[in-house]
């Protein structure tokens, strides 16, 4: 992965395999607030929420999740220990994620997300899935029927899953919707209310 800093506006961007994962400022706020807050709002009356974050090693989704006092535990599973180390130790990243990794409710596991869910997961109230877009076979398996069937097994009966789905109602987004529906999920496609301020319209399922 690589971090880039724009000296003109001071914004920081992270790229993994050529894909932009985040850009500080409006991009970060619009993406991560839309990703996290709708599901958290649906669970606002629940207590002692057990949250699972798959991917999201930059800590920015964690930052939003940890704003909720009813979260008792947040486990983040990421295969990239170098990214998490950067997010925990680089001053610019710590400022962006509000030192999310120092929160005592957070536990970080370095593992393949699919393997973790199959072997170690437990049950969760909300699972946030923040993977890069499926640009190769290794990533594509994380968007498969087999993956979503495994996801169902780690959700409580009234649990929610939120999936980063690329651009809103693009081919990737529609494939995720149809695949989740095929294994029995009730799905909803959504996107930010202010997408016209940015250079892309984020899609979520």
Point out the residues that are catalytic: 130
Q: In angstroms, rounded to a whole number, what is the distance separating the alpha carbons of residues 64 and 16?
A: 22
Residue pair 33/108 in contact by the 8 Å Cβ criterion: no
The three-point CA angle 139-144-150 to 5° equals 105
DSSP 84: H
Tell me the residue length of the chain. Answer: 205
Q: In angstroms, rounded to a whole number, what is the distance separating the alpha carbons of residues 12 and 175?
A: 31
| Rg of the Cα atoms in the chain | 16
Q: Dihedral, CA atoms, 10, 12, 18, 22, nearest 10 degrees?
A: -130
Nearest 5°: phi and psi at 158? -105, 25
Q: In angstroms, rounded to a whole number, what is the distance separating the alpha carbons of residues 52 and 74?
A: 6
Q: In angstroms, rounded to a whole number, what is the distance separating the alpha carbons of residues 94 and 153?
A: 33
């Amino acid at each position: 992965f690589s971090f880039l800093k724009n000296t003109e506006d001071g914004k920081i961007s992270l790229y993994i395999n050529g894909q932009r994962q985040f850009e500080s400022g409006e991009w970060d706020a619009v993406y991560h607030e839309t990703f996290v807050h709708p599901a958290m709002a649906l669970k606002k009356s629940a207590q002692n929420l057990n949250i699972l974050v798959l991917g999201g090693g930059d800590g920015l989704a964690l930052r939003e999740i940890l704003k909720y006092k009813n979260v008792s535990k947040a486990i983040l599973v990421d295969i990239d220990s170098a990214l998490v180390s950067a997010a925990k130790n680089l001053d610019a990243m710590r400022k962006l994620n509000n030192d999310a990794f120092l929160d005592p409710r957070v536990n970080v596991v370095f593992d393949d997300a699919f393997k973790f869910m199959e072997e170690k997961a437990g049950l969760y109230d909300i699972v946030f899935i923040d993977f890069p877009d499926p640009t190769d076979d290794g990533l594509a398996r994380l968007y498969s029927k087999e993956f979503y069937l495994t996801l169902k097994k780690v959700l409580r009966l009234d649990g929610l899953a939120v999936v980063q789905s690329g651009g809103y109602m693009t081919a990737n987004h529609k494939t995720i919707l149809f695949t989740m529906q095929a294994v029995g999920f009730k799905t909803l496609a959504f996107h930010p209310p202010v997408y016209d301020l940015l250079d892309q319209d984020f899609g979520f399922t």
